[in-house]
Amino acid sequence: MKLFLKLFLFLLISVSANAFDFNNIYNVKTYSSTTLEINDTNLIDEKNSESLITNINNLNEALEEKSQELIKQNRDRKTVKYKGPIEDIFTDNANSVVFIGNRKNNRIQGIGTGFVIKHKNKLKIITNWHVIADADKLDVWLKPEKQVDENFLIQNVNSYNAKIFNIDKRKDLAILEVPKLSLKIKPLNFKEFNKIRHGESLFVIGHPNGQLWSFNEGRVSNIWPNYDWKYKRSNHKANVIQHQVPVSPGNSGGPVFSKDKELVGIVTFVDPEGQNLNFAVAADDVIDFLNEKPKKIKKSKNNKWIKKKDKGSTWIKKKDKKKKTDGSIDLSNAKEADINNNGIIDAWLIDENNNGIYEIAYGDTDENGIVDLLVMDKNENKIYEFTFVDSDEDGNPNIAKYDNDEDGKDDVIAYDYDQDGEWDKFENI
């Protein structure tokens, strides 16, 4: 399991809500009923609670199975050193390959690869959409003169701030721009999809598991026009090349070259159900994407757990009327509480059955007036087994924690990285 976490946990999130002690809720001072109401939420619905429990109960088997698959994949991984003209593929193009850091809340939550091309006399960076999805900030590093490791690069080498120019979620492609980027690159030739042949050699430059600017070789396994695949519950379709070049998390968005130094495609996804089943979106699709008119990019605000209000970004708003509005939870009988015992109201406690047990509690952990935490005691045993965290306080919970055995320690953490209402990853603790 440790190997699984090492291989797959390249999206890092800090959960700080644990310091907010709801376990001591029955010993804190409570006040009168609140004059606030909380906007519509399905978090407390019985149906959704049961659904989350079902998902969690299936985790162990799934994680163990994926772990074994990744172990086999890792054994197949190799770094190739070349002699002769093949070396020129790396020499000519390595400086155009960039390291991308996806930042959320000022922390690197994911890494990937991109490469710089010149298009219409402007430099652009091509990568995968999933590499840059849901980022607050995108950092781009160029290849340093001396070889360094990932941590040194992030901490000690100057980076560029990249802006999203265009995205195509369907093909899992993204174009980035870096203002004032000055880089001499060699022009690329693109290999047409219909000229790719089974068994021909392919070469990849990228950052597998943070191994910076690695160079690997493999062969074309198959060619799939208009191929459908699914990644993190998102549907995709493009012309893809199935290949045997060893790739790992961190390679996504990196260039795939032919032996003639032509760009064949970009590394995009792997099939976890088998060994060495790796796929790249074809260069034809990249060209078409480059020539598209940039779309207006909107951040999704939909979430099946919390429906964000039309105005404001908090789960709580002042009550305009005593009348309970459709789709909202009336907190007129909820108790206000001071969890931190500092004279500031930072929690709202709900006793639905009027039996002296708070089944639901909302918290403002940083006491800034925005609710960022929800806990649930589904069994009414005074132990909160469900915790939902809104770490960026945008009204959409992005972290869920589950204490399966109710021992006061979290057993499973779920993450919604792109805040589309679907849990992207479950992590055993």
CATH number of 77-290: 2.40.10.120
Q: Residue 13, Cβ neighbours under 10 Å: how many? A: 18
Map out the domains of the chain as residue ranges: 2-64+305-428, 77-290
376 is written with which tokens? 């649930």
Is 240 strand, coil or helix? strand
Instruction: List per-residue pLDDT tens for the chain, 429 residues long.
Output: 332 222 222 222 233 334 577 767 777 777 776 544 444 333 334 444 455 545 544 544 554 555 555 555 555 544 444 444 788 899 999 999 999 999 988 889 899 999 999 888 889 999 999 999 989 999 999 999 898 999 999 999 999 999 999 999 999 999 999 988 888 888 888 999 999 999 999 999 999 999 999 999 999 999 999 999 988 778 999 999 999 999 999 999 999 999 999 999 999 999 888 888 999 999 999 999 999 888 766 554 443 333 333 333 344 333 333 333 333 445 566 788 888 777 788 888 888 778 888 888 888 887 777 777 888 887 788 888 888 887 777 767 778 887 777 777 777 777 777 666 666 676 766
Is 75 strand, coil or helix? helix
- The dihedral sign for the CA sequence 244, 248, 250, 252: positive
Q: Residue 135, Cβ neighbours under 10 Å: how many? A: 20
pLDDT for position 65: 56
pLDDT for position 17: 39
2 is written with which tokens? 């440790």
Instruction: Give kind and range of the element (H or E) at residue 67.
Output: helix 59-76
Strand locations in 271-315 (E)? 278-282
